[in-house]
């Protein structure tokens, strides 16, 4: 069976068992404060397990794109070094939300594996949770009893809490689980050692293939367990491992999930993949084909590589792949981007985002490769200098601080530094490097550390967002919890009726006030977590159960929603002017300005920007009324022409915002008519990433302030110039300045001519060569012209000029061509520049250096004579 057939059989089987088949959620999580990426199949269903949302159906099946590279579930360091760990992987899953439980979950799994897929029963083992006294958790006897009806009891293994109690993270839904393991060894190997002894012992051919999680509990922040409102089933079967088992392979990388990618790497690199675990070339190929999948899916789902957050994780994965290919495949030019087309061919049918976003994914990866390869080349020069310095000092260990700086500041791989050092008979201080890395991580953790306590629930009632219609309302607190971070102690509250918009869709969360007759608290931010609208306040009310009045900061809301509405008009205008390839790739909407990222592959012209502004402002002047469609079926919205953004997860019911011909799915707050936006003004257009342009703009009050500021500037200029015709007055000043500059240049040249004659006669004989060390106040241009002339006219000469022009120290060195093999201008300038606390460079015949210490010119003068 091909991998495509294996995936389809899974979905068809569960469809026959009355499961609703749903698409994978995006691999990137944009509105979940607890996770950057989907790290398991259950992530998109978390709210169902917690009881915050009603499931779409009681039975669901899917295949979910997952990424495990940070936090508790981190497989990155294992990738490439074994046959079955991956960063990005598919998780086949079937789900029951308060419907069937252990009995049916076990029956379905057994039937699918042994009858549909035809896996021999004698190759399978199962584990159950043995219990844990410290948590007062009993052995999972129910699971044991159900398993023994289909499998021999000697193939049922007790598992500890680490292996058989599944938890999503430090808190959240959890429960006992039952794993299914498959023994893929040869009959001869099985005869020597029983598979029972190899289960959960990291054997590459006795691997877990499916995990049946029985969700019964919620792990609270204090570590305690509480029963979930209903019992659920959450299963996850590793698609890549399943393909390995069904295709009779001993490695995931030998299946058709990876072989087309490996073949392309072989073609591009000229290296042959042999599948040897310890072979560095083969490790590199496995790293590359794994990492290209993770990066491609992340970019297709809207996460671009960057220097922070989720973007940094994606950049780190990509750079790991580039580093391995550079070191072990001798790939010194970008090539990973050429693998995207192969991935599209393999997976584009089932995951259409790969085809839809293919050009963008390819361009971004190529740009990142070019950038990082430049970083490597620059780093190699730095490493070489560091090695020469270490050798010259008679040492054998590279200095720790410099090695860490190469890694931390310049992004140069530490293992590459290690390899180069070893080739020169040197080492790095491993313990010192690890200490520096640990200290940096601790600093980072400290800066972002926060402690979140458990919720104190005052009333179990549904919370309602009323902010689309009201910015003030009477309300009460249904639950609260304490939060501690570096800024102090705060409280998060959930309100029965909240007018505060929670951060999402690019729009920042509302601020405001929560008050009653006796107390008032500032609402510092509002976010959404697990379906709850959470506002952060700067204290805890004495009577948390009292009635409060919630008020949004009206001015900030007005400007934020003006900026949000104008992004919709901007998006439409960009597509009209540049083409329908334009798609939103990110945004920021606040009260002060808006930022809009979009797919486009060239810098916009001034004419295009002017046309965009014109089109948007025309729509503003039309005073187009908002048409809002709340809770309409998503297909109905699409049929109406609404634009759905790739990388966003939409529910069955959506909210559609329409301003005339502009129609988008959006949960943000908006103006009632476009005239409320006031005026739209683009401040800048720039590159956000390869294939991504960024517009920053203003509207509303800020736009009005901008034009008032311009008016004030013009008035002040008129007064300074004593003319109302500001443009003509400035043109006249420019003309006068140009004439004066010509006069000054002519005077400088005359002065330089006079200096040349004096300087020619000032050379001193030093052995068989001539030396001139001269102080001057001439400008840099004049000095350069003179030195070039002198080093041509005066053979066997060295010319060193020290200038204090404009109060800044500068040193210039010229070496005549006949001495270039003996003296190097660059080497001389390096020594002399130390005296003025500066640096510079050049070529063997000419070099310059600027500095900070003007007084150091005297020392430089003496040093030049001594040298």
Q: Are strands 427-428 and 397-398 parallel, antiparallel or unpaired?
A: parallel
pLDDT score recorded for residue 246: 95
Instruction: Check: CB of residue 832 under 8 Å from CB of residue 853.
Output: no
pLDDT band at 822 (very low <50, low <70, confident <90, very high): confident
pLDDT band at 4 (very low <50, low <70, confident <90, very high): very high
SS3 content of the chain, % helix, strand, coil (to 5): 45, 25, 30
- pLDDT higher for 774 or 747? 774
pLDDT score recorded for residue 41: 80
pLDDT score recorded for residue 448: 61
Over the stretch 269-305, which tens digit does the pLDDT of each residue have?
999 999 888 899 999 999 999 999 999 999 999 888 8
Instruction: Please compute the mean of the pLDDT values over residues 163-183 and round it to a whole number.
Output: 88
Confidence check: pLDDT of 562 > 90:
yes
Instruction: Please compute the mean of the pLDDT values over residues 833-858 and round it to a whole number.
Output: 88
Confidence check: pLDDT of 94 > 90:
yes
Instruction: Please compute the mean of the pLDDT values over residues 86-107 and round it to a whole number.
Output: 94
Q: How much is the pTM?
A: 0.75
User: Residue 22 in 3-state DSSP?
Assistant: coil
Share of the chain above pLDDT 70, in %: 97
Gap between the Cα atoms of 464 and 638, Å rounded: 26
Task: Indicate the annotated binding residues for Zn(2+).
Answer: 564, 568, 666, 670
Instruction: Please compute the mean of the pLDDT values over residues 588-615 and round it to a whole number.
Output: 94
Confidence check: pLDDT of 234 > 90:
yes
pLDDT score recorded for residue 72: 47
Instruction: Check: CB of residue 678 under 8 Å from CB of residue 620.
Output: yes
Gap between the Cα atoms of 632 and 654, Å rounded: 5
Mean pLDDT of the chain: 90
pLDDT score recorded for residue 446: 67
Instruction: Locate 772 and state its tokens.
Output: 């001139």
pLDDT band at 346 (very low <50, low <70, confident <90, very high): very high
Q: Please identify which residue in the block is written with the tokens 């004579």.
A: 865
pLDDT score recorded for residue 73: 47
Among the ranges given (26-35, 593-602, 846-855), the one the predictor scored with the smallest mean pLDDT: 26-35
Confidence check: pLDDT of 262 > 90:
yes
Share of the chain above pLDDT 90, in %: 55
The closest of 514, 509, 482 to 497, measured between CA atoms, is 514
Gap between the Cα atoms of 383 and 407, Å rounded: 11
Confidence check: pLDDT of 419 > 90:
no
Gap between the Cα atoms of 723 and 113, Å rounded: 88
Confidence check: pLDDT of 470 > 90:
yes
Instruction: Please compute the mean of the pLDDT values over residues 629-646 and round it to a whole number.
Output: 88
Among the ranges given (58-72, 288-302, 339-353, 464-478), the one the predictor scored with the smallest mean pLDDT: 58-72
Half-sphere exposure of 622 (CA within 13 A, CB side): 13
Task: Indicate the annotated binding residues.
Answer: 564, 568, 666, 670
The H or E element containing residue 250 is none
Confidence check: pLDDT of 71 > 50:
no
pLDDT score recorded for residue 514: 96
The closest of 163, 160, 157 to 137, measured between CA atoms, is 160
């Amino acid at each position: 069976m091909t991998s495509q057939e294996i995936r389809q059989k899974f979905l068809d089987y569960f469809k026959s068992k009355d499961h609703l088949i749903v698409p994978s959620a995006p691999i990137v999580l944009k509105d979940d404060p607890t996770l950057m990426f989907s790290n398991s199949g259950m992530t998109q269903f978390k709210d169902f397990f917690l009881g915050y949302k009603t499931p779409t159906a009681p039975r669901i099946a899917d295949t979910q794109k997952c990424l495990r590279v940070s936090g508790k579930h981190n497989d990155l360091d294992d990738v490439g070094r074994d046959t079955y760990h991956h960063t990005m992987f598919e998780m086949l899953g079937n789900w029951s939300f308060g419907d069937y439980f252990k009995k049916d979950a076990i029956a379905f799994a057994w039937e699918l594996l042994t009858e549909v897929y035809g896996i021999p029963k004698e190759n399978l083992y199962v584990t159950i949770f043995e219990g844990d006294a410290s948590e007062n958790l009993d052995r999972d006897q129910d699971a044991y009893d159900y398993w023994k009806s289909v499998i021999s009891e000697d193939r049922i293994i007790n598992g500890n809490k680490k292996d058989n109690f599944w938890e999503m993270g430090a808190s959240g839904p959890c429960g006992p689980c039952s794993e299914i393991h498959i023994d893929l060894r040869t009959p001869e190997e099985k005869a020597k050692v029983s598979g029972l002894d190899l289960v959960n012992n990291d054997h590459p051919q006795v691997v877990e293939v499916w995990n049946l999680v029985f969700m019964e509990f919620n792990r609270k922040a204090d570590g305690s367990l509480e029963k979930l409102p209903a019992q659920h089933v959450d299963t996850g079967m590793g698609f890549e491992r399943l393909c390995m088992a069904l295709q009779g392979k001993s490695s995931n990388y030998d299946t058709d999930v990876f072989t087309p990618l490996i073949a392309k790497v072989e073609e591009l690199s000229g290296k042959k993949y042999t599948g040897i675990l310890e072979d560095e070339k083969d490790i590199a190929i496995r790293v590359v084909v794994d990492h290209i999948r993770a990066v491609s899916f992340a970019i297709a789902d809207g996460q671009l590589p960057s220097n922070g957050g989720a973007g940094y994780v994606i950049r780190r994965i990509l750079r790991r792949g580039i580093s391995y290919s550079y070191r072990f495949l001798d790939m010194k030019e970008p090539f990973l981007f050429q693998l995207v087309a192969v991935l599209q061919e393999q997976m584009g049918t089932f995951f259409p985002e790969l085809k839809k976003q293919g050009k963008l994914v390819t361009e971004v990866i190529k740009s990142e490769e070019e950038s990082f390869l430049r970083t490597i080349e620059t780093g190699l020069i730095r490493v070489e200098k560091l090695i020469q310095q270490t050798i010259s000092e008679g040492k054998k260990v590279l200095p720790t601080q410099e090695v860490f700086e190469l890694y931390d500041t310049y992004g140069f791989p530490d293992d590459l530094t290690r390899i180069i050092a070893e080739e020169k008979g040197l080492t790095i201080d491993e313990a010192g490097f690890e200490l520096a890395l640990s200290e940096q991580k601790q600093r980072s953790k400290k800066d972002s550390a926060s402690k979140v306590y458990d919720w104190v629930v005052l009333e179990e009632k549904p919370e309602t967002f009323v902010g689309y219609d009201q910015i003030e309302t009477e309300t009460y607190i249904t639950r609260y919890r304490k939060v501690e971070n570096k800024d102090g102690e705060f409280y998060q509250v959930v309100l029965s009726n909240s007018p505060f918009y929670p951060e999402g869709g690019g729009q920042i969360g509302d601020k405001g006030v929560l008050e009653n007759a006796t107390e008032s608290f500032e609402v510092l931010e509002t976010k959404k977590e697990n379906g709850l609208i959470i506002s952060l306040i700067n204290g805890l009310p004495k009577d948390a159960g009292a009635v409060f009045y919630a008020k949004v900061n009206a001015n900030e809301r007005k400007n934020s929603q003006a900026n949000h509405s104008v992004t919709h008009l901007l998006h439409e205008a960009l597509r009209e002017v540049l083409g329908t390839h334009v798609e939103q790739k990110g945004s920021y909407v606040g009260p002060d300005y808006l930022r809009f990222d979009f797919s486009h592959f060239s810098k916009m012209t001034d004419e295009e920007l002017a046309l965009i502004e014109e089109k948007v402002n025309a729509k503003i002047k039309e005073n187009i009324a908002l048409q809002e469609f709340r809770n309409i079926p998503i297909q109905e919205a699409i049929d109406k022409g609404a634009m759905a953004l790739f990388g966003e997860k939409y529910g069955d019911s959506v909210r559609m915002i329409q301003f005339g011909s502009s129609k988008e799915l959006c949960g943000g707050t908006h103006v009632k008519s476009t005239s409320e936006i006031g005026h739209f003004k683009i401040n800048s257009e720039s590159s956000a990433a390869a294939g991504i342009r960024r517009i920053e703009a203003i509207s509303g009050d800020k736009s009005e302030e901008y034009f008032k500021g311009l008016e004030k500037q013009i008035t002040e200029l008129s007064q300074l110039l004593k003319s109302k015709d500001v443009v003509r007055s400035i043109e006249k000043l420019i003309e006068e300045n140009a004439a004066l500059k010509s006069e000054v240049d002519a005077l400088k040249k005359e002065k330089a001519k006079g200096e040349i004659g004096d300087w020619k006669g000032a050379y001193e004989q030093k052995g068989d060569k001539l030396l001139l060390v001269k102080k001057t106040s001439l400008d840099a241009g004049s000095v350069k012209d003179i030195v070039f002339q002198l080093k041509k006219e005066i053979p066997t000469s060295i010319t060193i000029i020290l200038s204090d022009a404009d109060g800044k120290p500068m040193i210039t060195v010229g070496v005549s061509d006949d001495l270039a093999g003996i003296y190097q201008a660059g080497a001389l300038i390096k020594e002399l520049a130390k005296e003025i606390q500066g640096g510079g460079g050049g070529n063997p015949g000419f070099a310059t250096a600027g500095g900070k210490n003007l007084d150091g010119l005297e020392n430089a003068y003496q040093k030049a004579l001594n040298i």
